[in-house]
Amino acid sequence: MQTGMHTDTERCVRAVRSKDARFDGWFFTAVLTTRIYCRPSCPVVPPKSENMTFYPSAAACQQAGFRACKRCRPDTSPGSPEWNRRADLTARAMRLIADGVVDREGVPGLAARLGYSARQVERQLLAELGAGPLALARAQRAQTARVLIETTPLPMADVAFAAGFASVRAFNDTVREVFALSPSELRTRAPQHRVAGSTPGTLSLRLPFRTPLNPDNLFGHLAATAVPGVEEWRDGAYRRTLRLPHAHGTVALTPGPDHIACRLTLGDPRDLTVAISRCRRLLDLDADPVAVDDQLRADPLLAPLVDKAPGRRVPRTVDEAEFAVRAVLGQQVSTAAARTHAARLVTAHGDPVDDPEGGLTHLFPSTAALAAVDPQTLAMPRTRRATLTTLVARLADGSVNLGVECDWADTRARLLALPGFGPWTADVIAMRALGDPDAFLPTDLGVRRAAGDLGLPSTPAALTARAAAWRPWRAYAVQYLWATDSHPINFLPA
């Protein structure tokens, strides 16, 4: 078990007294006198240190009988960066819970995906987070309910079931217990423009992040590689279609100075939690940019890049299988050619969607749809066609799993065993689809060229040796190196 920050009382007290937003999501402060829990950056006057106690999760606070602060709204903190940095049981379980697996499949389903017994998962989460999977999922349901209450005109019964509650009574009891307000009181307190006049099925919300965040590489990469019909850049927003558990949806994401504006249109409101989780993952919003940049800045040749534009994120994906297919389509071709290949697949095999705003026409084809495609109809070299069809077959039969619960090292080994898969393809999938923050691309020509320009070693072996000091954040170093190239996005050797 790893010891969380919440056990370092002195450090936690310092963070609370300085109202340091960098620690929001790392731990929660529970005040013994008021029975309220807050985020470290809560703007109210800090309590006396002897009246503070610290918990690793909102769920643990709730289980101990504390209510969420109405001022700082700790339930809206960015997620802990631990769950995207680590690949152990706890981190994998937290990624699955964020993706709504407990609500859809229960604790047995969560445990089965992880390859452990339900008792083992429960014990590990209790030890590290102070709450089991049911309590963690309940806390997430409460936050989903609050978003629906405050941003939509949905009837409360619909909110209850959309948020994942089994009954209206459980919904009412949980909201009162967590927020010390009834659902109707929460809606009354919300700014009226957030509820009135909402388009049916459309929600507008804010996605918080830890500063700094440099949106240039993040949104620039997504815009430059956007597949027509599935994605687009319009009026300062990145828009795309989403394949979700209950229905499809669309999202528009607009960068702001202290949040990402998120406008979701959902075919089924039960998909809200999953949609938010996947958008946060796409934009790497739960990262700890201060820790990343401090580590990379320690290399004197990399430091000027970090100082020039701190807070770079790794652009990821909302659909791991989609990204893996697109990585293969882009082997040894330009970005424009990769987009053309992907657009052909989308037009021929993607499910059509209705976008009232125009521009988005299809979902990216599912693995099942791609598995049924006649390989001879694919307009690409024979060897790459074989690589693609083998990948799709392995994804379809489950022998290659790219889900948020997968073991990064095992999945990378399985990818490298496929024909046509070299280190570049496996590592770019590890970086963008699996979310491994330490994935590295020493054979990428853009990375090597930038390294040489900076005076860093440019051969793969020597660059890998130098990059050992950048661990566990080598995927972020790639973003800084790519940013030095006027054409940083090229799909090069397999």
Query: Which CA distances in Å does 108 have to 89, 121, 173, 245, 392?
Result: 15, 10, 25, 18, 28
Among all residues, which ones are annotated catalytic? 38, 444
Q: In which band, very low, low, confident or very high, does the pLDDT at 487 lie, cut at 50, 70 and 90?
A: very low
Mean pLDDT of the chain: 92
Q: In which band, very low, low, confident or very high, does the pLDDT at 16 lie, cut at 50, 70 and 90?
A: very high
Is residue 334's pLDDT more than 90?
no
pLDDT at 2: 43
104, two tokens: 């859809």
Mean pLDDT of 190-219: 79
pLDDT at 199: 65
Mean pLDDT of 88-106: 94
For 267-319, how does the pLDDT look when each residue is reduced to its tens digit (9 = 90+)? 999 999 999 999 999 999 999 999 999 999 999 999 999 999 999 999 999 99
Which of 75, 60, 68 has its CA nearest to residue 132? 60
Is residue 172's pLDDT more than 80?
yes
pLDDT at 193: 47
pLDDT at 493: 38
Domains along the sequence of the chain with CATH:
5-76 (3.40.10.10), 82-151+153-194 (1.10.10.60), 287-482 (1.10.340.30)
pTM, rounded to two decimals: 0.91
Distance between CA 211 and CA 263 in Å, rounded? 21
399, two tokens: 């022998």
Share of the chain above pLDDT 70, in %: 95
Is residue 329's pLDDT more than 80?
yes
pLDDT at 379: 83
For 188-200, how does the pLDDT look when each residue is reduced to its tens digit (9 = 90+)? 988 754 544 456 6
Is residue 85's pLDDT more than 90?
no
pLDDT at 194: 56
Q: Strand order of the sheet with strand 237-243? A: 202-208, 259-266, 248-255, 237-243, 231-234
Is residue 211's pLDDT more than 90?
yes
Distance between CA 66 and CA 49 in Å, rounded? 17
Is residue 468's pLDDT more than 60?
yes
Share of the chain above pLDDT 90, in %: 82
Q: In which band, very low, low, confident or very high, does the pLDDT at 381 lie, cut at 50, 70 and 90?
A: confident
Cβ atoms of residues 230 and 346 within 8 Å:
yes
Cβ atoms of residues 49 and 78 within 8 Å:
no
Give the dihedral sign, CA 287/288/292/293.
positive
Q: In which band, very low, low, confident or very high, does the pLDDT at 485 lie, cut at 50, 70 and 90?
A: low
Query: Which CA distances in Å does 9 have to 38, 64, 82, 103?
Result: 15, 18, 19, 34
Q: In which band, very low, low, confident or very high, does the pLDDT at 84 lie, cut at 50, 70 and 90?
A: confident
